[in-house]
Structure 1
Amino acid sequence: MLNDKKTINAWCLYDWANSVYSLTITSAIFPIYYQNVAVNASGGDRIDFFGVEIVNSVLYSYALSASFLMVAIVLPILSGIADYAGKKKFFLKIFMFIGSFSCIGLFFFTGENVEWGILCSVMASVGYSGSLVFYDAFLNEIVTEDKRDIVSARGYSYGYVGGVILLVINLATIQMPETFGLADAGIASRVAFLTVGVWWIGFSLYAISKLPENPHGRKPEGHYLTNGYRELRKVWRQLKEMDGMRKFLLAFFFYNMGVQTVMYLAATFGSKELKMEASKLIMTVLLIQFVAIAGAYLFAYISKKQGNIRSLAIQIVIWIGCCLGAYFVNAEPQFFALAAVVGLVMGGIQSLSRATYSKIMPKETVDTASFFSFYDVTYNVSIVIGTFVYGYIEQVTGSMRNSTLALASFFIIGMIFLSQVKLKNAATQAS
């Protein structure tokens, strides 16, 4: 049943459940822990990985890129199978278990077993990214078009709040391990990874249980893989004929390169360019999360008044300003102010991009997972290219500031493609 409050709350709760991964594992605690323990016998950063000597940060960067590429390869066909067989909940659970158990596995990563740590971090990333396709696909099946902007914003807001709550608890544990009966900050960090996995599983199982099992009543007959491929091919043919969707995906590809690169590397920028302490960088991450909640709702409101495309365009202009501003940042107060603005448009552009894409999809389609697989593949590939370009420019020029100018160009190209998106629904275009 559409617009059912319990179903909507359950859907949003999955964001609450899985966002602890992106905050604790991706952004705050694991990268710092990894840099401290993944060292050689003399404390240097060149480590042995299956007999190959490699810099620890480079290895981690390659591992993340590999995880995004793995997801981009397997998701399209799995989404076709999910649509054909009515198995979105099944695949959502599978990826959720892969991700959450991998986080639990990080508890056993001590630095001496770097191969295990990299394997778990890769599979945690695969589980998180893979689950989002099937999670996003439910949006069209639980709410009517007029409510998707605000419900998408609510989902992201749940995620920001849940992520912050667990992160604050874990940070307190790491800062005062003896108070919690732990030997040191190292074991406290490993316990944090354990709590992420348990939190993710616990809240997810309840949330997923409330989502519709097979809303379109699909009754599969024949081979799942073959028919899943046919389902995906059918969606691909539809997509090629939908000019608005193709241009939106191109726009999303470019501006998301900028968004995700900023999210992944903002802390690194503060550390290298401004020499900020780890505690202040984590404080920046928390600031961004809190402001992002307001941003998600603010731009959902603007989209209601001005239309989705215009609301996204406003945010892209602000993102361009943030990238140009980062080039000139040279003091911590400036960095905090810039982080607050980034948080505002981070929450808005993520939630509204998902909602806008859901509105562009054919209204009567039952292939929501297949359609969203193209969206999420675009999302993952843009991260790989964006972070690579950012790092390459830094390597060539010797400064991360020059890399921020490249990010501005991504947003400009995205804006050009977005301006060409013409939608039939006036509420989605502009009022």
Structure 2
Amino acid sequence: MEPKNDKKVIRSWAFFDWANSAYNLVITSTIFPAYYTIITSDKDNNTIDYVTFMGKKFVNSALYNYALAFAFLVIALLSPILSSIADSRGNKKLFMQIFTYIGSLACCGLYFFEIENLQLSIVLFVLAAIGFWGSLVFYNAYLPEIATPDMQDSVSAKGYAYGYVGSIILQLICFVFVFFPSTFGLSGEGQASRLSFLMVGIWWALFAQIPFRKLPAGTADLQKARASWLTGGFKELRKVWAQLKHMPYLKRFLTAFFFYSMGVQTVMLVATIFGEKQLHLPTSKLIATILLLQIVAIPGAMLMSFLSRRYFGNVKVLIGVVIIWIGCCAGAYFVTTEMQFYYLAATVGLIMGGIQSLSRSTYSKFLPQESPDHTSFFSFYDVTEKVALVIGMFSFGYIEEFTGSMQNSLIALAAFFVIGLVFLLLLRKVEPKTENQTFAV
């Protein structure tokens, strides 16, 4: 096993965030959702926009939510199997590569997204999401292998910071094409948007070569190799669940994480469509707003890491952040003006990176540090997050379709955050007493 806290390895690991966060910003947060909403809209603000997919009629934004929910469901089902194979054969880097190339090629394919080939484009959109989230299963599993517990907060935050910087650089490049298409011989904003999808795929695959060259491949577990690769992953999840019964702190933290993740990721994934459909903001302003959100997320993630390390501990900071998220959901329900949306986006940006980074590092700290089963534990973590996302995205889309208002979906998100907050508050009752764990609470 290679020594931990190697600066070159950590830097290489963080560059994977740099590489794939371009997808998270351009495809899930800014240009793609805005482009999707525009080309599937009838341009009448007084009517509901419908699209037909696989012979069934959907509200356009609901189909977007359902597509993502399906992608997360696929990952939730696949990741235990893949993690089992990676653990037994010691090839987690190979699976990082496979999912990266699936995602990046799907993004390149979205260059051909026109309303006439909506069905194929939705399939590519789902594949891109599967590639992104599937690669993260193995990326996250590297954290306890490359950093000691006292360094995992800062290393996790470093990854998010690299991701924000890298994605912003590419977003600014895409910005130029979208706002000045004629300068580059493009037909308009539509072609410029599709060019952005192509650039994301190339950027993602290109910069991923840095971690692929430096990260260790892993060590094969011969005992696991003899088990069934199809059922082995689910057996590992059951094994992790059995271990969690004797780790009440981690079990309760995962419960809290499950509920507040329903809200966090859903808000991030629907923010642009919300601004487009509810406030009818132009694409340029939406992209600028989400870009601002990403910029303020960098100091936000660093601030949360600093506060948890120096003053309050992870859980108290997470409690404060979840309370702010509840306030954001409540505020979004009453948002009616452009400036209110900007203030809300800035607040979400400050807390967005912090809650993701601290969640990952808090979980990592409480794992058995010398265990060879980090991939299995992080598979459990990722399955928890993906199931939460399936529920969050599906409920958001279904409530909008059922009630006719996206704002009503925000009530469900606020409820998810409240439940997560309750379990975070209950963590103090099962606080671990061992000396090497007190730094995290």
Match of 1:426 in 2: 438
Out of 348, 357, 360, which is 2:354 matched to? 348
Structure 1 residues 231 and 86, CA gap change in structure 2 (3 angstroms): farther
Give 1:271 deviation, angstroms.
Answer: 3.1
Are 1:38 and 1:112, in contact at CA under 8 Å, matched by a contact in 2?
no
Q: CA deviation at 1:423?
A: 3.1
Change (3 A) 1:62 1:393: closer
User: Deviations 1:120-141 (Å, cap 9, x if unpaired)?
Assistant: 1110000001111100000000
Measure, in 2, the Cα distance between the counterparts of 1:57 and 1:394.
9
Aligned to 2:182: 178
Structure 1: distance between partners of 2:275 and 2:59: 21
**Distance in 1 between the 2:114 and 2:405 partners?**
32
User: Is the Cα–Cα contact under 8 Å of residues 79 and 232 in structure 1 kept in the other structure?
Assistant: no
- Looking at structure 2, the residues matched to 130 and 333 of structure 1 have their Cα atoms a distance apart, in angstroms, of 36
User: What does residue range 95-110 of structure 1 map to in structure 2 within 5 Å?
Assistant: 95-110=99-114
Contact persistence 1:80–1:367 (CA under 8 A): no
Q: Which moved more, 1:346-355 or 1:365-374?
A: 365-374
**CA separation of 1:328/1:140 partners in 2, compared to 1, >3 Å: closer, same or farther?**
same
Pick closer, same or farther for the CA change 1:257–1:420 going to 2, 3 Å. Answer: same
User: Are positions 1:319 and 2:319 aligned together?
Assistant: no
Q: Distance in 1 between matches of 2:55 and 2:263?
A: 35
Amino acid in structure 2 at the alignment position of 1:426: T
Aligned match of 1:14? 16
Local SS of the residue matching 1:366: coil
Secondary structure, in 3 states, of the residue corresponding to 2:29? helix
- Structure 1 residues 227, 402: CA separation in 2 closer, same or farther (over 3 Å shift)? closer
Contact residue 3 and residue 143 of structure 1 kept, 8 A: yes
**Residues 273, 59 of structure 1: CA spacing in aligned structure 2 closer, same or farther, 3 A cutoff?**
closer
Structure 2 unmatched runs, 5+: 43-47
Partner of 1:383: 389
Relative distance call for 1:338 and 1:31 in structure 2 (3 A) is: closer
Equivalent position of 1:235 in the other structure: 240
Instruction: Kindly tell me the number of residue pairs found equivalent between the two proteins.
Output: 427
Q: How does 1:50-89 map to 2 (within 5 A)?
A: 50-89=54-93
Query: Structure 1's 60 and 406: CA in aligned 2 closer, same or farther, altered over 3 A?
Result: closer
Using a 3 Å threshold, how does the CA distance of structure 1 residues 412 and 48 change in structure 2: closer, same or farther? closer
Checking the alignment, whether the CA contact within 8 Å between 1:8 and 1:142 is kept in structure 2 is: yes
Mean Cα displacement is larger for which, 21-30 or 219-228? 219-228
- 1:122 aligned to which of 123, 126, 133: 126
Q: After TM superposition, list the pairs within 5 Å mapping 1:152-167 onto structure 2.
A: 152-167=156-171
Quickly say closer, same or farther: Cα 1:91–1:397, change in 2 above 3 A: same
List alignment gaps of at least 5 residues for structure 1: none
Counterparts of 1:299 and 1:55, CA distance in 2: 38
TM-score, length-scaled by structure 2:
0.90
Correspondence for 1:331 among 325, 329, 337: 337
Q: Within 2, Cα distance between the matches of 1:96 and 1:31?
A: 21
1:413 and 1:191 map into 2 onto residues whose CA distance is 41
1:291 aligns with 2:300: no
Query: Residues 107 and 67 from structure 1, CA distance in 2 versus in 1: closer, same or farther, beyond 3 angstroms?
Result: same
More deviation, 54-63/199-208: 54-63
The letter for the 1-side match of 2:143 is: L
Cα distance per residue 1:224-249 (max 9 Å; x no partner)? 61655554443332233321222111
Q: TM-score, normalised by structure 1?
A: 0.92
Contact persistence 1:81–1:231 (CA under 8 A): no
Mapped partners of 2:142, 2:376: distance in 1: 12
Change (3 A) 1:190 1:365: same
Question: What corresponds to 2:257 in structure 1?
Answer: 252
Partner of 1:330, secondary structure, is coil
Give me the whole-angstrom Cα distance separating, in 1, the residues matched to 2:411 and 2:134: 31
Q: Which amino acid aligns with 1:256?
A: S
| Cα distance between partner residues in 2 of 1:268 and 1:143 | 38
- Aligned to 1:419, the other structure's residue is in SS state helix
2:65 and 2:7 mapped to 1: Cα distance?
Answer: 40
Tell me the equivalent position of 2:45.
none
Q: 1:393 to 1:251 in 2, by over 3 A?
A: same
RMSD: 2.3
Deviation at 1:326, TM superposition (A): 2.4
- Tell whether the 8 Å contact from 2:293 to 2:346 is kept in structure 1 after alignment: yes
Deviates more, 1:178-187 or 1:160-169: 178-187
Is the 1:173–1:180 Cα contact (8 Å) retained in structure 2? yes
Query: CA–CA distance in 1 between the matches of 2:52 and 2:415?
Result: 37
- Residue 31 of structure 1 and its aligned partner are, at CA, apart by 1.9
Deviations 1:354-411 (A, max 9, x none): 0001011112211111111111111112122123333444455554444333322222
Conservation of the 8 A alpha-carbon contact between 1:39 and 1:111: no
Aligned residue among 263, 267, 284 for 2:268: 263
Residue 88 of structure 1: how far off its partner (Å): 1.0
Equivalents in 2 of 1:399, 1:191: separation in Å?
A: 32
